[in-house]
Structure 1
């Protein structure tokens, strides 16, 4: 079997344009479906330890659902992933006001951020790799951001059972940029995610205030519910009495990764689901990873024949720190004319052959 990519209609948008769904397949049978609407990953089919395919990505059935209250399921996030306090920042002596869409704050690029934009799509495939290239020009003033920003995103599915995502952007004015993907995962394919075992190589995280804006502190995870340096079930400490957990109704925090070398693609998190044996590794180049335990999902959300209940999915989003434009102690996220924004991330899938074993490749059982 060779890698391939196919397309199918994904439904109309409110302005009459039509969205398209692209399905990438690698030579092992792994499948990833992505729309040119918001670059949303709608499904990821990977094998369990018996080789049976299952969909581990939360998503919806058509474009219309993603234009509603989609909780950013599977979407490309921009211009700025995560929160900016009061939707304001000062840059080169000028103050900018962004769209307010999360209490008093700006979240994930605004109500009509990159997740609701129709991107130009270019599919391609070789024997080993299926690729979907998406392009979008964010005009000056969109959601309050300065400058025309030209963004290119490459989704690449190879024979290593990893979905690689490469981001590139240039701007004609200085502007904050912090791009990521917001896929929700459940490696069991059903139920809650509290039994998933999580590892995050981070000695510190960024505590937040009641509005989930970082205080500016890097707080040690040692001795706290935020210590995932060794594997721990997501639900093992999620109900501890901790003001930070109370603010997020669970985990909704950025972890400061123990990076070996700045700018390289390194492991940001590892998740193992013990019953299915599925393993997800999240790799990134940024200084942080946001861990969100699905605390605001509710039974009102339905898609693909499933109900997305409280904590039925988790997110791990490689990125820069939240509110960095207002916190000079955090690494800068300002892209200036003449410079290029580049970052990569990857979702790498494997299985444990048995409980407690190391992850290994697992062939897909093809149905007859």
Structure 2
């Protein structure tokens, strides 16, 4: 993960470790384990974030992987790390969230210290961070922890999303709603199979691309709302997005007038993918990430990409967006390529 504005990020005391954390990612990491090197000037470098394992039996392996990744990064620029710091960021959905969870995770902090010693690294601090309190695991043995004070203006993170909230927003529908959408997708698959046998994949893909164009246009014009999209239409969109060319057409809806409606549509579709329809979830989630980035919400975009990567390790649109965000750092450059693709597209749907 590339740090945000790392030229301004300097650790100059225990509390700054808490204030600086969300600015390393563009969001508040939760259910996460983070390890960072510190330069002699106190700047975080070679920052690694992994999911915090819920099962204690997975802690040792997670810590070993964390240090392996960190050392691999550090080897690319030897001599830049004077010490290490780690953050344990619990899941706010944990019923023991807070002091009790901190006590449970002391063993994890110990594993971090032991592993650092075996690696010959100087682990200067392990910080346990909740939404309103923090503990320095080297000194705060018990108690309610330290309240997180208001940071300096340059470290104000109130506008940055929390990963737990983004995950909750992407949570799939349940109960009767899940059953209904699974039934709708099953019917679309059967209808699509008949159409494929009759007119081929290309016709199905073209129809799906046209449905995307029409749905986003109607949302932008206000002639329909997300809540008014029928289940059969949503199911056709989900199935159609499985064609890479159709997903490409969806991505091209990148103009300022389209982005809010498109983003709402992709989030809606991503949530309509419970377990029975989970194979459909990657495409709308990645499109939600792209449109969030276009609307200036890079933190949400990165979290959505994490969610998509958890479902599939390989997907070309994930690689494309990660590269664009990490290397180009500008949605405008990415949008220019999308505009060029959209302008040159003529009968480009191959199915």
TM-score category of the 2 structures, normalised to the smaller one: under 0.3
TM-score by length of 2: 0.25
TM-score by length of 1: 0.24
Higher strand share: 1
Larger radius of gyration: 2
More contact order relative to length (CA 8 Å, sep ≥ 6): 1
